[in-house]
Structure 1
Amino acid sequence: MTSAPELTVIEVPVSDARVEPLLRELGDEYSRRYGKDAHAELARYPDEEFTAPYGGILLLLIEDGEPVAGGAFRRYDDTTAELKRIWTHSAHRRRGLARRVVTELEREAGARGYRRVYLTTGPRRPEARALYLAAGYAALFDTEADPETIGPLPFEKHLAEPDHTGKASTL
């Protein structure tokens, strides 16, 4: 695995044209893995849920402005952000970009006052399951069970409390 390249991180609205490839490829991939059209599921949440002050969409851009990875978060409850739509373009995988997306989403969620992050992934996404475990997320399911018998696999991670300077400190 090569190290992640230098990238620009930007926050954009759902309507930004650079988000469309993210959602299209993600929907196509989910549709292939689960055997049903997943595009409607991706459109299930109103765009407003992914806008400040409660949520956001972050994209990682290479030098020419092409999105190579991204993800979103939304308000789950008063203290919890829910990560959604984490994606790396198929031509840019295995380079640490998804991990960088998760880190950036956690940073931004923490800056908005969230103290916990929650997410789910599908049982047919073993690479996502491995990513979240490696990133310090606790599985909220029996990791020894067959994922197909569980359905969506829930995870959580508690974020560090900010210190008196507003910067995150370790717990």
Structure 2
Amino acid sequence: MNYAIRRLTQDDLAAYRAIRLTSLQDHPEAYASTFDSAAAKPDDYWRQTLDKLCLFGALTDDCQLVGLAGFMAETGDKDRHRGWLIQMYVDPALRGTGCAMALVDTILDYARGRVMQVHLGVWDQNPAAIRFYQKAGFHIYASDPRAYFWGGQFYGDHLMVRYLDMAPGKTVQ
């Protein structure tokens, strides 16, 4: 399946809402948001999210949104050198095709010149995702064993970072 990566716009509102809800429904352990909460949000919420965040999508030749990745920069006086890779999701049919790496590379390219490092959180019980992010040059710098509580259960998170001013995989001593 062919796909192209591009920044999402207000014209993508319905497709963005649909893929975001799919990601939350299919992988509730992977996100801080829940499907029920997101599904109840009005269209205005989704419009504002598209305006506020920098969201990129992987779209097929027939314009189906099959992948999503977002970027959010910190804005504080002392942390504006940091950004976050958020809302990462790829349709199961495209996993292993390079689509996810293309989305991450797009986020990293977008982040260069805006921030010096990109952070992310990944569920600590998802070794495939952890290996994927390590392949993309991220490394674990902290773990939060009870980051989220949902459905009567705790979920842990690994925090990972990619320094854009260093070679991939390099860490600060």
Question: Would you say same fold, with TM above 0.5?
Answer: yes
Change (3 A) 1:114 1:85: same
Deviations 1:7-48 (A, max 9, x none): 3222124762221232112101223x58xx82267689x765
Deviations 1:24-77 (A, max 9, x none): 12101223x58xx82267689x7656646xx40000111111112111111233
Q: Does structure 2 retain, via aligned residues, the 8 Å contact 1:30–1:38?
A: no
Counterpart of 2:71 (choices 73, 78, 82) is 73
Mind listing any 5+ residue stretches in structure 2 that lack a counterpart? 146-153, 167-173
Distance 2:37 2:162 in 1: 24
Q: What secondary structure does 2:159 align onto?
A: strand
Aligned-partner residue type, residue 109 of structure 1: A
Change (3 A) 1:156 1:40: farther
2:128 alignment partner in structure 1: 127
Q: Does structure 2 retain, via aligned residues, the 8 Å contact 1:50–1:72?
A: no
1:169 alignment partner in structure 2: none
Deviations 1:83-131 (A, max 9, x none): 11111012222212111111101111215x1111010011232221111
Distance 1:16 1:27 in 2: 17
Q: Does structure 1 retain, via aligned residues, the 8 Å contact 2:68–2:88?
A: yes
CA RMSD of aligned residues (A): 3.2
Distance 1:107 1:42 in 2: 29
- Map 1:5-44; keep pairs closer than 5 Å: 6-13=2-9, 16-31=13-28, 33=29, 38-39=34-35
| Count, aligned residues | 147
Between structures 1 and 2, the one with greater strand share: 2
Q: What secondary structure does 1:94 align onto?
A: coil
Q: Does structure 2 retain, via aligned residues, the 8 Å contact 1:62–1:68?
A: yes
Change (3 A) 1:70 1:79: same
Percent identity, aligned pairs only, is: 16
Q: Does structure 2 retain, via aligned residues, the 8 Å contact 1:50–1:74?
A: no
- Map 1:74-89; keep pairs closer than 5 Å: 74-76=72-74, 77-89=79-91
Distance 1:140 1:42 in 2: 29
Q: CA deviation at 1:6?
A: 4.8
Q: CA deviation at 1:150?
A: 8.2
